[in-house]
Amino acid sequence: ERLAAGNAAAAVPDLEIAKSVRPEDAQVAALLAGALARSGRPVEAREEYRRALGLREDYPEAHRDLAALLVRTGEFLPAAEHYRRAEELEGADTALVAARAAALAQGGDPAAAVKEFARAETLGPLDARALSNWGTAWAQLGRPDQAAPLFERAVERDPGSANAWANLGAAREDLGDVGGARDAYRRAVGVDPRHRAAGRLRALGG
């Protein structure tokens, strides 16, 4: 009940008791892991998710939730593997495949990431964050020509994303479109006056 009410820290002791009573229950382990994660205890949460998967490997929600936790702790390629296993168990959906693609890009494999983003889009519309992440993967590959249209789609979907505007500015700058880059950087700074784009805008005489 406490976990359902959003009081994760208060739920941890109750779930620890449940664990002692039902040590072989994978669902209890996964619930405890989630409560630990939401209580700011990621190391313990990670181990509890792994215990849950040791008890029941074919547990898609645990794979998905562990993957999200690993992204937050900077373990991107292991996260991508857990997203892959979740897909094997429950089927593909746009958000799941896009999350795996983003983890691959952050883990240093942008070539695999752009393919996964393309596959994600065949499953349904991508949100602004996924579009921006897709563009970033292309930028990592040195392809601003592929990145810029994705950043443009991202800012169309979410004009309030300073990061997407800044990324668009960088892609346009790499393409030699200084005026377009200035415009994008101005939009980024308009959303967030303290954004790093302010430095690039000044450098371009904006």
The pLDDT assigned to 8 comes to 85
What count of Cα atoms within 13 Å lies in the side-chain half-sphere of residue 90?
Answer: 16
Q: How many distinct structural domains can be found in the chain?
A: 1
The answer to whether residue 100 sits within a structural domain is no
The answer to whether residue 50 sits within a structural domain is no
The answer to whether residue 42 sits within a structural domain is no
Low-confidence ranges of the chain (pLDDT < 50): 1-2, 4-5
Contact in structure between 70 and 99 (CB atoms under 8 Å):
no
The answer to whether residue 176 sits within a structural domain is yes
32-53 tens-digit pLDDT: 999 999 999 999 999 999 999 9
For the entire predicted model, the pTM comes to 0.90
CATH number at residue 155: 1.25.40.10
Domain encompassing residue 179: 127-206
Buried b (16+ CB within 10 A) or exposed e, 91-101: ebebebbbbbb
The answer to whether residue 1 sits within a structural domain is no
The answer to whether residue 172 sits within a structural domain is yes
All residues at 6 or more sequence positions from 136 whose CB lies less than 8 Å from its CB, including other chains = 105, 147, 167
